[in-house]
A and B are shown apart, each in its own frame.
Chain A
Amino acid sequence: MQRRTFLLAGAALAVAAVAGVSGCSTNEAGTDNPVDRLTLAEGTEPASLSPLAAMYGLADKFYEGLYTIWGEGKLQWALADADAVANSDNTRWEVRLAGGRRFSSGAEVTPADVVATYRAIIDPAVGSPLAGHFTMLRSVTAHDWKIAFELSEPYAGFDTLLTVGIAPADLISQPVDSSPLVHTPVGSGPYQLADWRAGESLVLEPNPHYRQKLPIPHLIIAFVPDQNAVLQRAAAGSIQGAQVAPALAATFDRRGWEVWRNASADVRAVTFPRNHPGLKDPRVRRALNQAVNRDAILKGVQHGYGQVAYTPFTAAQGEVFDPDARFGYDTAGAQALLDEAGWPRGADGNRVNAQGQSLGFRLMYFADDIGRRDMAVAVAGDLAAIGVPVEVVAVPHAQVGARIPDDALLFAGGDMPYHPDQHISPLLDGRGATFDPADPYRNPSGYANPRIDELLQVGRVSSGEQRTQAYREIQQRYLDDPALLCLVAIDHVYLAAGLNQWLDVQHITEPHEHGAAWGPWRSIQSWLRK
């Protein structure tokens, strides 16, 4: 009798649990939120709101830089009120600061603040991660309301880097990890921080000294790590926007909501491990590039949200991008190339060379990233079909770096995409060909092509047509000797409610960074009510 009671009780509990878990919410979309506030979901809580901690992050809601990124990677004036002017050899740049701008504390934004901010970036005592992007900056000075940047070497397009948020001089000069700016932003941007509830949410209120009235004065950014919880909250109406994975965007169809896509410069690519004997041969790398069906990956893994990419260049690099630099999808040609390069198929169908070494390799992906896993599996399938066995392995972040010389990685680029040199040099520059365990993600394929190195230098120092030609030639030469197996430049996909009430919601090409700082809400301070 006792055993039967126990079994009955257990069965009842199990049935209740299963019924509860498998049921779906039947709530309608709640889009009748008050028009003065918007709640967005963000996957990861930022560690720091300092403008020197990261580029293009949530700090952009509180700070303005001299310029800001607009459209497909164009520069727009923010705190500057004129284009930057370079001298003849691109070693000195001048920017004029607009007057009458104020920080949220009420203090005026002066040239001294701009100088202090850029000096802090390159100051080792402050220790900003952005220092690596400003190695060419030698000194910053101000004269009247003009800021002068002196560079130690010519650098074309330097103004593209001038999007770092400007903070008050006294606060910005402290070490980046312990400065009060980590938790309490003081900027001239549209919003100021009302409350940061750790682990919960950021509450933003309008900056009283911002130069225009905000269409949506209050923003709440809730931290919701789990995508299913995001969809639940969206269905319940407690959030009005979030970034989601492409597969989930397709399943969410509610009145008042739309799927918003922003193109990005985030190129997913497979690296070629430098210690592998076969992958040094350009013919082999060309063959692998021809053997992958990129359209199928775009459709199957990204659900069409993205652009096929053959080289690391994207439209975000402006006119230097050559859309005609493409590989054809040609498995027969790829197989012929591999045969010619000395990698015939063995008895089991896999390619081995005369010394008996296999052309196969391991392909790593970050263990927590499902999108990259799916892409890795697709690539492995395509390459297996031409006799190159690829073993897909999930690897925790901590262990990836040391394995890069031996195993391929499904890599993502585009953290600094708006400047061609910042975007491409870390991947192709031959000075990074030797593996450095302290900097494992630089030039992950160990690539060194002397002509491309020359052209990279031309691209750095020259402007205009000469610069464009140099980068275009890089793309053509890349097709002969590819450094990576580029797949797609993904779109970032967002669910957004209530956008149809607004005009001037901009599509902006995003960097690798994404989330509540981007999406349709990047331009929120200049929306117009219909």
Chain B
Amino acid sequence: MVGLRLLTGAAGIIGVTVLLFALIQYAPIDPVAAYLGAANEFADGPTRARIAERLGTQLPWWQHWLDWAGGALRGDWGWSATYRRPVAAVFADRAPWTVLLGAGGLLLAGLAGWAAALAAARRPGGVLDRLLNSLAAVVAGTPAFILALAAIAVFAVNLGWAPAGGLTEPGAALTPAEVLAHLGLPMLVVAVSAWPQITVHTRAALSDAWQSEAVTGARARGVGEATVLARHVVPLAAGPSAMVLAARIPELITGTVLVESVFGWPGLGQATVQSALGGDFALLAALTVASGAVVVSANLSGDVLGWVLDPRTRPTGRSGRIAPRPPASTYADAVVGDPVVGDPVIADPEVAR
């Protein structure tokens, strides 16, 4: 099952790179002009010809793709025209910053989302619930770059609480303190843009769990409210919530592209924009592969995490079960996943989902 997913994912990524090379010839970009930059108005014929040959712009797109794919299989990811360095070096420099921003933002969004969802799900239909739902709708509808610009305008320019951009103050040493200070605002923006979906889905999962028969049964057995929350409600909601969290990662990729550009954060998102504008085939193809791999693995690990946390969602069928169902036990220590004796509704994974 997992193997099939990985195989189809890899095929998809390869297909996207083919599409990239095929489509980029229609883009109104001249890689030679982008390479020359401001000197484009003054470069002469022989200079342009030499650069065109270097960048491979004269080749038909499928030959260009074959060259690139052959190199990639051998481990040579090519040379970035935008940064004048090997693609691998660009990745090594920039990937840590994007991972820091994305992971930090997702963590923050997850924590805030859970907190909001718990507060809202306690009293479904109450004031807090409706307020948070409305807020989530508004924030979900606001594009990430508007959030970023508003954050800079409010917190950096007006209040002066945070720097307006960059990794550090220009020329300052690269210390963890400097980086964390500059990370605050972009991470906040990334978290805010991922927060609404997490909140809404987690709140729905929590609300379902709270009203589910297993919880009603536990309450009926006299289990305390705190234990109900910790050992019954949260584990029930954890599965779907983990899937939602992992599904946010592909969105984060597009979100960080915009956020990094606005904040001048030197990560892979900024590199995506610059390589796209410059028609930098090698770097753009490598970024496509990387983001494709992230999407595939994020979705897959989200699903796997969901299966681990909530055995009811494990796929059955001809591909077989991943793990055997846990054995039934007595009422006294009923846990999630145990089919309650005599209750076929919960035991049926299709219905439980």
By a beta-carbon cutoff of 8 Å, the part of chain A in contact with chain B is 1-2, 5-6, 8-10, 13, 16-17, 20-21, 23, 25, 27, 37, 39, 44, 47-48, 54, 124, 127, 129, 131-132, 177-178, 182-183, 197-201, 203, 218, 220-224, 229, 232-233, 238-239, 396-399, 401, 411-412, 415-416, 436, 438-439, 441-442, 512-513
Contact = CB atoms under 8 A, between A and B. Distances in A.
A5 B134 CA distance: 7
Contacts of A23: 153, 157-158
Interface centre among B39, B84, B93, B154 (most CB of A within 10 A): B84
Contacts of A401: 30, 33
Contacts of B43: 129, 132, 441
Given A9-B134, A10-B138, A439-B48, A200 B37 contact: no
B50 A127 contact: yes
Nearest to B45: A439
Contact of B41 (A8, A177, A399, A415): A415
B154 A9 contact: no
Given A9-B135, A25-B157, A183 B85 contact: yes
A2 B39 CA distance: 58
A200 B179 CA distance: 13
A411 B28 CA distance: 21
Nearest to B30: A398
Contact of B54 (A39, A177, A200): A177
A199 B270 contact: yes
A5 B131 contact: yes
Contacts of A124: 50
B154 A20 contact: yes
Given A5-B131, A20-B150, A177-B54, A438 B49 contact: yes
Interface in B15-35: 28-30, 33-35
A13 B138 contact: yes
Contacts of A223: 264
Nearest to B36: A129
B33 A398 contact: yes
Nearest to A14: B138
A134 to B, nearest CB: 12
Interface centre among A6, A183, A436, A513 (most CB of B within 10 A): A6
A415 B154 CA distance: 42
Contact of B166 (A13, A127, A200): A200
A229 B167 contact: no
A220 B153 contact: no
Contacts of B45: 436, 438-439, 442
Interface in B137-175: 137-139, 142, 146, 149-150, 153-154, 157-158, 160, 164-171, 174
Contact of A200 (B40, B137, B170): B170
B192 to A, nearest CB: 11
Closest 9 CB pairs of A and B: A398-B30, A220-B171, A222-B170, A439-B45, A20-B154, A199-B266, A6-B134, A132-B44, A415-B42
Nearest to B29: A398
Interface of B: 28-30, 33-50, 54, 79, 82-85, 93-94, 130-131, 133-135, 137-139, 142, 146, 149-150, 153-154, 157-158, 160, 164-171, 174, 264, 266, 270
Interface centre among A16, A21, A233, A416 (most CB of B within 10 A): A21
B158 A25 contact: yes
Interface centre among A197, A224, A442 (most CB of B within 10 A): A197
A39 B170 CA distance: 8
Nearest to A402: B30
A48 B84 contact: yes
B47 to A, nearest CB: 5
A521 B171 CA distance: 18
A101 to B, nearest CB: 28
B171 A201 contact: yes
Given A10-B138, A20-B150, A199-B270, A1 B157 contact: no
B154 A412 contact: no
A415 B134 contact: no
11 contacts: A10-B134, A20-B154, A21-B153, A39-B170, A132-B44, A197-B168, A197-B266, A222-B170, A232-B164, A439-B45, A441-B43
Contact of B264 (A44, A177, A200): A200
A15 B43 CA distance: 50
A26 to B, nearest CB: 9
A120 to B, nearest CB: 14
A51 B156 CA distance: 38
Interface centre among B134, B135, B137 (most CB of A within 10 A): B134
Given A198-B266, A398-B33, A415-B39, A131 B47 contact: yes
Contacts of A512: 38, 42
A6 B47 contact: no
A20 B28 contact: no
B130 A2 contact: yes
A178 B80 CA distance: 11
A439 B44 contact: yes
B272 to A, nearest CB: 12
Given A182-B84, A197-B167, A512-B42, 11 more contacts: A6-B137, A20-B154, A39-B171, A47-B82, A127-B54, A238-B170, A397-B34, A398-B28, A401-B30, A412-B41, A416-B42
B157 A47 contact: no
B130 to A, nearest CB: 5
A9 B138 contact: yes
Contacts of A396: 28-29
A412 to B, nearest CB: 6
B30 A238 contact: no
A525 B181 CA distance: 34
A338 B49 CA distance: 41
Nearest to B169: A238
A442 B48 CA distance: 13
B202 to A, nearest CB: 19
Nearest to B86: A178
Contact of A37 (B49, B149, B171): B171
B167 to A, nearest CB: 6
A220 B171 CA distance: 6
Given A200-B266, A233-B164, A397 B30 contact: yes
Contacts of B83: 47, 198
B46 A132 contact: yes
A13 B192 CA distance: 13
Nearest to B174: A197
B84 A200 contact: no
Contacts of B137: 6
A21 B145 CA distance: 13
Given A199-B270, A398-B33, A131 B46 contact: yes
A218 B171 CA distance: 9
Nearest to A412: B41
Interface centre among B30, B54, B146 (most CB of A within 10 A): B30
Contacts of B130: 1-2, 5
Contacts of B37: 44, 47
A397 B158 contact: no
A195 B154 CA distance: 32
A184 to B, nearest CB: 12
A177 B134 contact: no
